Each structure stands twice: as structure tokens, then as C-alpha cells.
Amino acid sequence: MKEIHSNLKSIADKNGRSIRQIAKDIDYRFETIRQLYNDESKHYPKELLTKLCNYFNCEIGELLVLKEDDE
């Protein structure tokens, strides 16, 4: 079954940004960004996704991807 997964780690690493730097730059809670970075999020806040897409100048489909579950 396909599930939504975060691609934030790849995008952040490619742009040389740490979780802490992203949180500071977009003024968002570190822990929430850490969960998304590590693909541990159960929810995807619209405000956060909007801020991240604007910050990295990317589309939502680059940030979140639909792929087969590993199980």
C-alpha cells in the first residue's frame, strides 16, 4: 500500500540547511520540523508545508511523496 512520506531531509541536505536553521528561518517549532525531516510525522500542518515550499522554492509534490510502504 502506498503512503505519504517526507522528502524534507533530502531537500534540506541538498540545500545545506539543518533542522535548527530551518526552524529559525521560517519561525516554526523545531520538534515539528524534526519529525517531518525524519519522516515521523503523522500530520502535515498546512501552514508548515506552505512555509517550507516557499522557503525551498519547491512544490508540495517534491516535499511529500507517495511511495510503497516498506512493510
Residues 32-69 pLDDT 10s: 999 999 999 999 999 999 999 999 999 999 999 999 87
Q: Is residue 44 helix, strand or coil?
A: coil
Total-model pTM = 0.91
Instruction: Please check whether residue 44 is in contact with residue 64, taking contact to mean a CB–CB distance below 8 angstroms.
Output: yes
41: left (phi over 0), alpha (psi -120 to 50) or beta: beta
Residue 3: other Cβ atoms inside 10 A: 12
Instruction: Please check whether residue 65 is in contact with residue 7, taking contact to mean a CB–CB distance below 8 angstroms.
Output: yes
CATH of the domain at 23: 1.10.260.40
pLDDT at 68: 87
Domain count, the chain: 1
Identify the domain containing residue 30 by its residue range: 2-68
Instruction: Please check whether residue 36 is in contact with residue 7, taking contact to mean a CB–CB distance below 8 angstroms.
Output: no
